């Protein structure tokens, strides 16, 4: 069974296009590769970070430079430990694209003794060899899947180590607090004159712990924003049946994706589309009409009722709600209730301005109100502007942005950050209640431990394996 954690030569195809790239790494990788290379001596003598030209052969040759069974003409980039991505000896082989050539080369590599790399195994080895910490390793995957320039830039910040640095700085502060606490504990054990009362309620270097907590909370809050850059914010179009939600959805996308009709309740299910606003990816969802209170005596069709339930779910998960009011009917009590209840997430949209403009009273009551006509397109640019501004300014999205050099990139990082913050908060609360230091100190230690898990200073084999196995092959 192959598994993460050994150092045998591994190989994988890493890219394919006009050229294909195969990646190899491991102890003795260059010697093995030389066995199926048309110019083995040139390869073996090549210094690290140089490129050797030659042919990959279908079977091992003994020093014969002529080489029968040529597979493809290649350029081999030679890396020597420790100056390589993985920290091991290795070589990248770029061949003339096409899946056949790459597959044949990979097969030849197998025949000569390379094992197929596991997903993420190159990065795993890089981590094991101290080339990068876990936050940077995770950012490698983010780079691959980044959808916008903004998402890319954020992942690059993590790749450059800005998150790692922030965690280390927080860790140092915490260490100050922990060692001060432990010193105090040791001292009071020996010196019986220090009464338990005196020891109670004192958290030496408390300000360090407080600052660490503040920064941990800011980091935890950054996760949602980073996730938005990665996966897109969810903007949900809601409103009463017939308000013009589907029309607005289409106008925003500038394409016909949902059915627009004059009959209430047509969008039984919801429909979603992706767009990008000022470089922030946005998922826009059109929902079925929400009827807060079913009209007495009316029997909602089952399908429509389900649509409404789905709409509610979507609204709960929304970052932004475009609440569409039917301008021709004015703002109803139901409209006002909804907008009030959903609070800061809502951008009220007055639709059908071609029929009726919003009265001043509506504008005064709802400063964020945007007036549009989905039919004529009037006000659409303004609405896009309001959406973009909301993406940047809504407190639940932009929290802590200005404070941090880099945010959290993965759920794993967020969970550990929150665990650390919770332990720390509990420690501070106990200190406030003047509880003894010897039960507070372990909580500080626990927070430290979680921070170590984020960067990988503390890690377990199975956690690493789960993490890296989600990577793609060749990374
Ligand atoms: N006059 C006018 N009618 C509109 C406008 N937007 C939508 N409508 C009409 O309102 C009705 C309901 O629209 P639809 O988008 O299906 O509403 P939904 O039920 O909220 O999705 C349709 O007859 C649309 O043509 C608008 O800006 N002006
Ligand atoms: Mg609709």
Which whole number is the average pLDDT over 368-377? 96
Task: Extract the tokens encoding 351.
Answer: 């639709």
Count other Cβ atoms within 10 Å, centred on residue 198.
10
- Residues in a beta bridge with 92: 23, 77
Going through 81-182 in order, the beta strands assigned E by DSSP cover: 90-96, 115-116
pLDDT at 256: 47
Task: Extract the tokens encoding 62.
Answer: 């003994």
Looking at per-residue pLDDT, the higher value among 303 and 134 belongs to 134
Q: Rounded to whole angstroms, how far apart are CA atoms 35 and 168?
A: 45
Ligand 2 centre distance from Cα of residue 245 (Å): 5
Ligand 1 centre distance from Cα of residue 15 (Å): 48
Ligand 2 centre distance from Cα of residue 351 (Å): 13
pLDDT at 298: 55
pLDDT tens-digit map of 34-48 = 999 999 999 999 999
16 in helix, strand or coil? strand
pLDDT of residue 443 exceeding 90: yes
Instruction: Please write down the long-range contacts of 37-42, taking CB distance under 8 Å and 24 or more positions apart.
Output: 37/76, 38/65, 38/66, 38/67, 38/70, 39/65, 40/65, 41/65
Say yes or no: CB of residue 246 within 6 Å of ligand 1.
Answer: yes
pLDDT tens-digit map of 102-135 = 999 999 999 999 999 999 999 999 999 999 999 9
Cα-based angle 275, 396, 252 (whole degrees, multiple of 5): 25
Which contiguous run of DSSP H or E holds residue 345? none
Q: Which domains does the chain have, with CATH numbers?
A: 10-131 (3.30.1360.120), 230-398 (3.40.50.300)
Tokens 């590599």 found at: 109
Which whole number is the average pLDDT over 138-165? 88
- Residues in a beta bridge with 23: 12, 92
Determine the straight-line distance between the first and last CA of the chain, rounded to whole angstroms: 20
Q: What percent of the chain shows pLDDT beyond 70? A: 85
pLDDT tens-digit map of 69-99 = 899 999 999 999 999 999 999 999 999 977 8
- Say which range, 3-7, 60-64, 262-266, 420-424, has the weakest mean pLDDT: 262-266
Say yes or no: CB of residue 239 within 6 Å of ligand 1.
Answer: yes
Which whole number is the average pLDDT over 155-180? 93
- DSSP for 407-451? ---SHHHHHHHHHHHHHHHHHHHHHHTT--HHHHHHHHHHHHHHH
- Say which range, 99-103, 146-150, 293-297, 445-449, has the weakest mean pLDDT: 293-297
Say yes or no: CB of residue 365 within 6 Å of ligand 1.
Answer: no
Can the peptide bond before residue 82 be classed as cis, meaning omega within 30 degrees of 0?
Answer: yes
Task: Extract the tokens encoding 11.
Answer: 């190989």
From residue 217, how far is each of 41, 173, 396, 416, 442 by CA, in Å?
57, 15, 13, 12, 20
Report the residue among 240, 241, 242, 332 best suited for mutation to probe ligand 1: largest number of ligand atoms under 8 A from its CB: 242
Q: Which residues, at least 6 apart from 136, have a Cβ–Cβ distance to it below 8 Å?
A: 158, 159, 160, 161, 163, 164
Report the residue among 286, 287, 356, 374 best suited for mutation to probe ligand 1: largest number of ligand atoms under 8 A from its CB: 374
Q: Rounded to whole angstroms, how far apart are CA atoms 355 and 352?
A: 5
pLDDT tens-digit map of 404-424 = 788 999 999 999 999 999 999
Report the residue among 239, 244, 357 best suited for mutation to probe ligand 1: largest number of ligand atoms under 8 A from its CB: 244
pTM for this prediction: 0.74
Pairing of strands 346-351, 320-326: parallel
Radius of gyration for the chain, computed over Cα atoms and rounded to the nearest angstrom: 30
């Amino acid at each position: 069974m192959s598994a993460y954690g050994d150092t045998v030569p591994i190989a994988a195809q890493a890219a394919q296009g006009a050229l294909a790239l195969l990646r190899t790494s491991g102890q003795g990788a260059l010697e093995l590769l030389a066995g199926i290379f048309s110019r083995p001596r040139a390869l073996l003598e090549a210094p690290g970070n140089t490129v050797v030209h030659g042919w990959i052969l279908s079977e091992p040759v003994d020093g014969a430079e002529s080489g029968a069974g040529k597979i493809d003409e290649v350029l081999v980039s030679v890396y020597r430990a420790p100056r390589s991505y993985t920290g091991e000896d290795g070589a990248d082989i770029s061949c003339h694209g096409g899946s056949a050539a790459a597959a044949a080369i990979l097969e030849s590599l197998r025949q000569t003794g390379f094992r197929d790399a596991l997903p993420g195994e190159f990065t795993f080895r890089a981590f094991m060899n101290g080339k990068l910490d876990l936050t940077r390793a995770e950012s490698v995957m983010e780079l691959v899947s980044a959808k916008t320039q903004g998402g890319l830039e954020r992942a690059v910040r993590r790749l450059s180590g800005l998150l790692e640095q922030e965690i280390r700085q927080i860790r140092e502060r915490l260490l100050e607090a922990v060692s001060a606490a432990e010193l105090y504990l040791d001292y009071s054990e020996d010196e019986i004159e220090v009464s338990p009362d005196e020891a109670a309620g004192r958290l030496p270097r408390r300000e360090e712990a407080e600052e660490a907590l503040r920064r941990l909370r800011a980091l935890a809050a950054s996760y949602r924003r980073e996730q938005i850059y990665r996966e897109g914010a969810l903007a949900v179009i809601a409103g009463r049946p017939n308000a013009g939600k589907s029309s607005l959805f289409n106008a925003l996308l500038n394409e016909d994706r949902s059915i627009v009709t004059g009959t209430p309740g047509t969008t039984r299910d919801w429909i979603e589309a992706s767009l990008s606003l000022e470089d922030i990816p946005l998922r826009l969802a059109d929902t079925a009409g929400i009827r807060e209170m079913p009209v007495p005596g009316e029997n909602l069709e089952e399908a429509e009722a389900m649509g409404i339930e789905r709409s509610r779910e979507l609204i709960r998960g929304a970052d932004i709600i475009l609440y569409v009011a039917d301008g021709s009917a004015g703002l109803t009590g139901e409209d006002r209730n909804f907008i009030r209840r959903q609070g800061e997430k809502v951008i009220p949209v007055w639709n059908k301005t071609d029929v009726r403009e919003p009265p001043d009273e509506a504008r005064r009551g709802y400063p964020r109100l945007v007036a549009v006509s989905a039919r004529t397109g009037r006000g659409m640019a303004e609405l896009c502007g309001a959406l973009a501004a909301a993406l940047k300014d809504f407190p639940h999205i932009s929290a802590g942005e200005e404070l941090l050099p880099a945010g959290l990139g993965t759920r794993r990082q967020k969970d550990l950050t929150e665990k650390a913050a919770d332990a720390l908060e509990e420690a501070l609360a106990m200190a406030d209640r003047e509880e003894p230091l010897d039960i507070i100190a372990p909580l500080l230690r626990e927070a430290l431990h979680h921070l170590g898990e984020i960067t990988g200073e503390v890690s377990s084999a199975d956690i690493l394996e789960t993490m890296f196995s989600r990577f793609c092959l060749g990374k």
